[in-house]
Amino acid sequence: MPSSIVVNARFLTQPITGTQRFAIELCRGLKQLRPDITLLAPDRIIHKDIAEELNVQVVGRMRKGILWEQLELPLLLNRLGNPLLLNFCNLAPIMYRNNVVSVLDLSFKLHPEWFSRRFSLLYNFFIPREVAGAKRIITISENTKQDIAQHYGVPLTKIDIVYPSVSSIFLEPPAQKLPNKYGSYILAVSSIDPRKNFAGLIEAFKAGNFGETKLLIVGSEHKVFADNRIKELVAGDPRVVFTGYVSDTDLVGLYQNAQVFAYPSFFEGFGIPPLEAMACGCPTLVSNTTSLPEVCGDASVYVDPHKIESITNGLTTILNDAALRKSLIEKGYQRLPLFDLNKSVIKLMDVIKEVSSPNSTVLS
């Protein structure tokens, strides 16, 4: 029988991106403080090791995640006495009222051209409705908190910031660097998503004079993103390497051996990869937009993602200045404690206590 707190664990049926990492790490932390919390998921889990670790219960018969989430899950919760439901990955059942929902960014609303038509329509239908009915909204940066308040008319007092944290595998990298099979390289890590500005990064890389240094792009393409042609930009250039998806263990090694981590994104709700790079001792270059200055502070070199020359100059500066690289690495290590998992879980527990009080109501 579930406890008075249930987590919507549909995210375990999805490929792991920053959104799913946020949910997984929060659930790991929650389980430490509240082992009685119940996680429920549909019967399409693809991360069975994580499901076993978190003791996830598979419920319902619907195999299509969105239908399970919107129809079957709320019916089950009603039968169980309407426990508080925590939703960490943007979507939540709009007909269920005892909800805490998470909205991680508004890119789908502000830049629908970056996504498939189906994805954009889906999010623009569900998010306003779930926000209107939620007891509380969680987001991951001050920038996104302001966006939610502005575009959905939500009082700032009803929106709480719970920062993502870096997975432990990046926080405890092996003392001995993993083997480097790529030589000197600039590293970029993300889903192949138009907002990540890989096209601009490739153009900036090609415009620079980086000798034998390669550009290594790690990440998978996903059907929710609008079609983009970044691979055509390389035109057979052997210095640009697409690895596809890599395991976290291999990713640690890639961060450790990179000369610089580049993240010239157009838009971020938070931006966990720069923190992963910092944890692995890699200097970082990021955009001067949205949440990234909030996340990276003085531990990164900032560039204008809309100007190719700015990205090229930023990369050149870091690659040619060993003292700067050392300084960025040291400042990166100092930045990490701000995004500690324990702090985030304690903040989440405070939210749970507040919405569980007798005087708590849905948003109005």
Question: Does a structural domain hold residue 35?
Answer: yes
Q: Per-residue DSSP letters for 16-76? A: --HHHHHHHHHHHHHHHH-TT-EEEE-S--S-HHHHHHTTPEE--S--SHHHIIIIIHHHH
> Which tokens hold the place of 24?
């997984």
Q: Is residue 360 part of a domain?
A: no
Together in a domain, 147 and 174: no
* Residue 60 domain-assigned (yes or no): yes
Task: List all residues 6 or more positions away from 357 whose beta carbon is below 8 Å from its beta carbon.
Answer: none
- Residue-wise pLDDT for 245-267, tens only, equals 899 999 999 999 999 999 999 99
Which pLDDT band, with edges at 50, 70 and 90, does 232 fall under? confident
Phi first, then psi: give them for residue 221, nearest 5 degrees. Answer: -75, 150
The chain-wide mean pLDDT, for the chain, equals: 92
Q: pLDDT tens digit string along 336-349? A: 999 999 999 999 99
* Contact between 60 and 72 (Cβ < 8 Å): yes
Residue 229: per-residue pLDDT: 67
Q: Is 85 contained in some domain?
A: yes
Residues 29 and 104 in one domain: yes
Whether residue 203 sits in one domain with residue 309: yes
Is the residue at 91 inside a domain?
A: yes
Q: Residue 38 forms beta bridges with which residues?
A: 6
- Using one digit for the tens of pLDDT, what is the confidence trace for 82-116? 999 999 999 999 999 999 999 999 999 999 999 99
Instruction: Say yes or no: 243 and 97 in one domain.
Output: no
Does a structural domain hold residue 364?
no
| Angle subtended at Cα 69 by Cα 64 and Cα 70, rounded to the nearest 5 degrees | 105
DSSP string, 105-124: --HHHH-GGGB-HHHHHHHH
Shared domain for 31 and 143, answered yes or no, is yes
Beta strands in 260-299 (DSSP E): 260-263, 284-287
Co-location of 172 and 267 in the same domain: yes
So what's the pLDDT on residue 1?
Answer: 43
Name the percent of the chain lying above pLDDT 90: 80
Element (H, E) at 348: helix 341-355
- Residues 43, 105: one domain? yes
| H helix count then E strand count, the chain | 16, 13
User: Do 122 and 47 reside in the same domain of the chain?
Assistant: yes
Residue type, 257: N
CA distance 100 to 139: 11
Please report the pLDDT score of residue 360 as a whole number.
52
CATH of the domain at 230: 3.40.50.2000
SS3 186: strand
pLDDT digits (tens, 9 = 90+) for 107-142: 999 999 999 999 999 999 999 999 999 999 999 999
Residues 130, 197, single domain; the answer is no
Which of 58-62, 282-286, 339-343 is predicted with the least confidence, judged by mean pLDDT? 58-62
The answer to whether the CB of 239 falls within 8 A of the CB of 259 is: no
Are 261 and 192 spatial neighbours (Cβ–Cβ below 8 Å)?
A: no
CA distance 36 to 29: 13
Residue 362 included in any domain: no
CB 87 within 8 A of CB 136: no
Q: Find the radius of gyration of the CA atoms of the chain.
A: 21
What six digits make up the tokens of 54?
A: 């978190």
Q: Say what the pLDDT of residue 227 is.
A: 47
> Contact 83/2 with Cβ under 8 angstroms?
yes
Q: How many CB atoms lie within 10 A of CB 359?
A: 5
Q: Which residue has the tokens 């204008």?
A: 304
pLDDT number for residue 355:
94
Q: CB of 219 within 8 A of CB of 189? A: yes
Domain with 220, as residue range(s), is: 168-338
Cβ–Cβ under 8 Å, residues 321 and 315: no
Does pLDDT of 48 surpass 80?
yes
For 36, list phi and psi in degrees, rounded to 5: -80, -10
pLDDT surpasses 90 at 197: yes
Burial of 153 (0-12, 13-18, 19+ CB in 10 A): exposed
> What dihedral angle (degrees, nearest 10) is formed by the CA atoms of 249, 252, 257, 259?
150
C-alpha 51/C-alpha 58 separation (Å) is: 9
Please, which pLDDT band fits residue 228 given cuts at 50, 70 and 90?
low
Same domain, 214 and 319: yes
DSSP secondary structure code for residue 227 in this structure: P
The count of structural domains within the chain is: 2
Domain match, 104 and 121 both = yes
Report if residue 361 sits inside a domain: no
Residues 94, 30, single domain; the answer is: yes
